[in-house]
Amino acid sequence: MRGPTPKPEPRPGPKATRGSDPASAGLWVRLAVDGHFGEFLQGRLGPEGPVVLVTLPSPLTGTVVEARRASSLQINGIDGGPDPAALTVFLHDLGLPATGHFRFRARAEAGAGTGVSTATLVALARAAARLAGAPPPGPETLAQASLAVEGATDPLMLDTPSRYLWAPRRAAILEPLSEPPSFEIVGGLWGPPSPTNAADAAFPDIADLLEDWRMAVACRDLAGLAALARMSADRTRAHRSVAPDPLDDLARELGAMGTAIAHTGAARALLFAPETVPDDAEHALSEAGFRAVLRFRTPPC
């Protein structure tokens, strides 16, 4: 029997959390930015087109930040990420003061394909704005500032990131899409971390899959969407010679509708219709060698 599904951190809302005595303790905030767990689709929009994706949002990945006022910029909890000089430029580009003490806790390991790096930048910007009493940066402004730091960025600054065809190396929405219906996800990490290389465009053409995705979303065709996600994963594996993993065998064994992967990263996911996950699914992934196994439902819940 599986244990209770972990409750996700609260999504960042319009109100900051403050200390009980700001005059003595100083203003402080705590907020979370949700990540993703690989992508439903990722590839090139035509043989020579841009790299595009439809992200698979997750309330159990991303980043949590706690921040308080300070006279200088102090960053803790970012391992292998941007250095303070780059973050200072990032905040200045957003018109925010490069001051404050920020302590981050990533909900997944870096390089796993779960959006830790982008979520960290979004969290930093939102927390810095709250400390300064300023409005949060708009999604487009935040996306471009994040791109300048990362070179390729996830759409985690958007309220409903799976509703868009996103160009990560342009940090831009190419097309609004309908939000896919809810899946229940059981997944884990397989293989070593694999940070995204912003100069890497060696992905297969998925223009045909995207056309079918639009139709399947419009029809609320859960099985069709799961099959398209599996096709995208299979194409990337073949095109990029990704090392094999037991995901497909587990999908057959557990009756999953489809699979999804981080097209650059270690995340691997089984896609189920809600309320159809076998009780032993998480155990089966752990026994097969997956680490950091988790279970969640994609929005809308």
| pLDDT at res. 2 | 44
pLDDT surpassing 90 at residue 187 = yes
pLDDT tens by residue, 5-16 = 444 444 443 333
Q: CA-to-CA distance for 161 and 156, rounded, in angstroms?
A: 6
Residue among 100, 259, 165, 232 at smallest CA distance from 285: 259
Give the angle 21-27-28 at the CA atoms, nearest 5°: 105
- Count Cβ atoms below 10 Å from residue 128 Cβ, excluding itself: 26
Residue pair 144/67 in contact (Cβ under 8 Å)? The answer is: no
Residue-averaged pLDDT of the chain: 91
pLDDT surpassing 90 at residue 301 = no
3-class DSSP assignment, residue 24: helix
pLDDT surpassing 60 at residue 278 = yes
Interacting residues of 247 by C-beta distance below 8 A, sequence separation 6+: 190, 259, 261, 268, 270
